[in-house]
Amino acid sequence: MLYDIAIVLGHEIDVQGMPDAQTKARLDKAAHLYYNGLTTRIMVMGWAYRDDTSISLAQGMKNYLISTHNLSDDDTDNAVIANEESRDTVGDAFFSRQIYDKMQSQNRAIAVITSDYHTARAKIIFDFIYGDGYQIHVIGTISGIIEAQQQAEQASLMAFYETFKQAHKGDLQSISAALHRLHPLYRQ
């Protein structure tokens, strides 16, 4: 399948901005899609969450793609798009959709790259926020920690359902209202 974009969900970076093993695996998968002609753009997501560095997760991920996979750093190329507004999977879906919709793509096929333990929740969240008319394909990289994360994933999914129970699938206005009114990472 050809994807308009591969959206890479971040996990962690160190103080120098170097991605952890999970994030590297996700980025390597995105580069594989790019270099095999399956996508022309990669979007990396994540805020500056660490107190000991000003480097955002998205910038650390972009730097890794540029230095390790020789992807262009030329802003006019747009091979790698970094979004620093996102703080979690919900934000990844919400802010990536805002950017993606401005691209006015005809295909509407999107690859979301995350770790294996996170694929089911990511699929539910992206399908809800993007809504009908988009083809969301979630690709999981091997983490080796599936069982250890099951309870955390389920708890996060229950919190997602509670936060967005009044929002409507694909309706960015109602989703934005719930995000900024009820979500602890985005409350205004």
Q: Tell me the HSE value of 132 on the side-chain side, using a 13 A CA sphere.
A: 1
**Per-residue confidence (pLDDT) for residue 60, from 0 to 100:** 95
pTM for this predicted structure: 0.94
**Per-residue confidence (pLDDT) for residue 171, from 0 to 100:** 98
**Per-residue confidence (pLDDT) for residue 184, from 0 to 100:** 94
**Per-residue confidence (pLDDT) for residue 83, from 0 to 100:** 95
Where in the chain are the domains?
5-145
**CB atoms closer than 10 angstroms to residue 131:** 16
**Per-residue confidence (pLDDT) for residue 75, from 0 to 100:** 55
**Per-residue confidence (pLDDT) for residue 147, from 0 to 100:** 75
Listed as ranges, residues in the chain with pLDDT below 70 are 73-77
**Per-residue confidence (pLDDT) for residue 73, from 0 to 100:** 60
What is the homologous superfamily of the domain 5-145 according to CATH? HUPs (3.40.50.620)
| E strands in the chain | 5-8, 42-45, 80-83, 109-115, 135-141
Distance, CA of 21 to CA of 24 (rounded, Å): 5
pLDDT per position as a tens digit, 152-173: 999 999 999 999 999 999 999 9
